[in-house]
Amino acid sequence: MAFVVTRLCEDCVDTACVAVCPVDCFYQPKNPGGDYPNMLMISPEECIDCAVCEPECPWEAIYPEEDVPEVFSGDIALNEKCDTDRDAFDLAEVKEHTPPSAEEVSANRAKYGL
């Protein structure tokens, strides 16, 4: 089992999860758009299932693979792309971000029926 970043991260890209990852398994597309949305992704090959990233995500975008909501089932394969198409990704770096408000998180989740 690995953890999966879902599209709740798309265009939000808060790196609080990256800051706590002990193995640096978060990646970002070099050229977001098209096949790779502007979001973080977790390498399932590198993830050690420590779970420290999940509670740190202010957008509530990270799930254990077996708990990914149906609406985001395609995001499991999308996260795997950072292993199978590594040249298209850079290792994610920690950047300063203002955390979202509870209203912003709720609105983002509502876009997907959550």
Distance CA 46, CA 50 (A): 11
For the entire predicted model, the pTM comes to: 0.94
Mean pLDDT (whole number) for 5-21: 95
Q: How confident is the model at residue 34 (pLDDT cuts 50, 70, 90)?
A: confident
110 within 8 A of 60, measured Cβ to Cβ = no
Say if residues 11 and 38 touch (Cβ distance below 8 Å).
yes
pLDDT at 97: 85
Cβ atoms of 114 and 70 closer than 8 Å: no
Domains of the chain with bracketed CATH: 3-103 (3.30.70.20)
pLDDT in tens, 42-55: 999 999 999 999 99
When pLDDT is cut at 50, 70 and 90, the band that residue 58 belongs to is: very high
Per-residue pLDDT of 66-113, as tens digits, reads 999 999 999 999 999 999 999 999 999 999 889 999 999 999 999 999
